[in-house]
Amino acid sequence: MLRKSLMALFLLFISNNSSADGHSSGDVALEGMGVWSINALGAGKGTASVTYDGLMTVKAVSGTKFADNASFRCVGGLLAFKGEITEENGFCKILFQDGDTAFLQYDGTGKMGIGAEGSWRFIGGSGKYERISGSGIVKRKSIKAAATGYTQSINFLTGSYSIK
């Protein structure tokens, strides 16, 4: 009896430490606000090259739990011609409440000062997220920044994840 109890406890410990939020797969539905420092070179008439580095906090929504209250750092860039973002891409580090991390890559298109939409995919992580995979849709709504040299946005990520 003791042996069976110890085995059950061991299996419970392994399953809880090897999955995110107690699950090895599930939906991603996150909303967050971000502030990004920008470096831009404008060529006039809505044409520019922009790089950015910033922070965002997210809340899990729509009944999901993945990455609730996580912190993001994203570094990326975009090219715009006549106000149209023709190419935007970058990487984000997600820092979970327990200190583990996941990394994602994103890309998209949109309109300067309005927002953008594209796709994202997990590219790695640490701790229980070391073997994470998954992908989805990312949307950004631009907000007028309170300070020069920054941009602010509301961000939405939806999709799914799996941990092997």
DSSP state string for the chain:
-HHHHHHHHHHHHHHHHSSBTTBSEEEEEEEEEEEEEEEEEEEETTEEEEEEEEEEEEEE-TT--TTTT-EEEEEEEEEEETTEEEEEEEEEEEE-TTS-EEEEEEEEEEETTTEEEEEEEEEEESGGGTTEEEEEEEEEEEE--SSTTEEEEEEEEEEEEEE-
Q: Is the pLDDT of residue 17 over 80?
A: no
pLDDT of residue 55: 98
pLDDT of residue 22: 63
Q: Is the pLDDT of residue 14 over 80?
A: no
Question: For 2-163, which CATH superfamily applies?
Answer: SO1590-like (2.40.350.10)
Residue 23: which pLDDT band, with cuts at 50, 70 and 90? Answer: confident
Region 75-95 average pLDDT: 98
Average pLDDT of the chain, as a whole number: 90
Residue 96: which pLDDT band, with cuts at 50, 70 and 90? Answer: very high
Of 4 and 6, the structure prediction assigns the larger pLDDT to 4
For the entire predicted model, the pTM comes to: 0.85
Domain residue ranges in the chain: 2-163
pLDDT of residue 16: 39
